[in-house]
Amino acid sequence: MSPAGGVRHLAVLGSPIEHSRSPELHRAAYRVLGLPWEYERVETPSGTLPAFFGGLDESWRGLSLTMPLKHEVLPLLAHRSDLVDISGAANTVLFDEDGPHGFNTDVAGLVGALGDHGVTDVDTVHIIGTGNTAGSAFLAAARLGASRVLVSGRSLSGIHALEELGDRLGVHTEWRLYGSHVPVRADLVINTLPGDIDPDDVPEADLGDVLMEVPYDPWPTPRAARWTERDGLVVSGLEMLLHQAIEQVRIFATGVEGGELDDEDEVVAAMREAVRLNLED
């Protein structure tokens, strides 16, 4: 798609969406890049995405997708990155002349956020939840060298999908349903559930060296607060959001995955400042 009058439109879609900090991140990046682009939030409940796609014109450059749309978008894509095919989820859509392209930047977001805190190598990972982000969490665990992943969830189909992913990646996978109180210790715990959900099957006995808490609103989540009280390392989902947004900006601005931005250090600094995210916080 070609630009319409130089102004391009982008948005983050999902439901609920009013809490999203993505507009602050993206607007800051495009200001630095000198791009006359507009980025908004759009409440998009489950089942309404095809109609939304059908109403877009040539001024649209891309979309960021959150719950519950990362799976629902797949049939609407003309092209998928390898990571989308492996994870079964796309959180990024680029509109181009040959149709919508789907990407997954959540994996890079997780790995980047953890890397900022020196977490670059793990052996055992505990993933809580089996929804939209769980596959990306599993792929991030594999990139960090995990040899064993435990999945806690309530959906047997979701658990089995992650088991199959583990088989493809060569990562030993174990699982348990919510309600099990068997203590687990992991190098890294990744919680993919919304922040207001705190299953009672993840008690204090579920210790780990690091907690990656994907939700960031409300903050701190009950789990993050408990870890902080015992001086555990907590990595906020806002940090993940930053890193996945950096990947999205690269895709939207260059038109390709892995593209390089002009003045990238300045862009990233502006994005951090936009959400008041500093490693010292």
Which residues are annotated as catalytic? 70
114: nearest Cα among 204, 242, 270, 272: 242
Q: How far is residue 270's CA from residue 211's CA, in Å, rounded to a whole number?
A: 26
Q: Tokens in use for 179?
A: 């309600």
CA dihedral 12, 114, 172, 134 (to 10 degrees): -20
The C-alpha atoms of residue 278 and residue 239 are separated, in whole angstroms, by 9
Q: Where are the alpha helices (DSSP H) in 38-172?
A: 49-54, 69-72, 82-87, 106-116, 134-143, 156-169
127 Cβ neighbours under 8 A, 6+ residues apart: 134, 137, 138, 141, 149, 150, 151, 152, 162, 190, 192
- Of residues 75, 72, 78, 144, the one with CA closest to residue 108: 144
> Among 260, 248, 235, which residue's Cα sits nearest to residue 12?
248
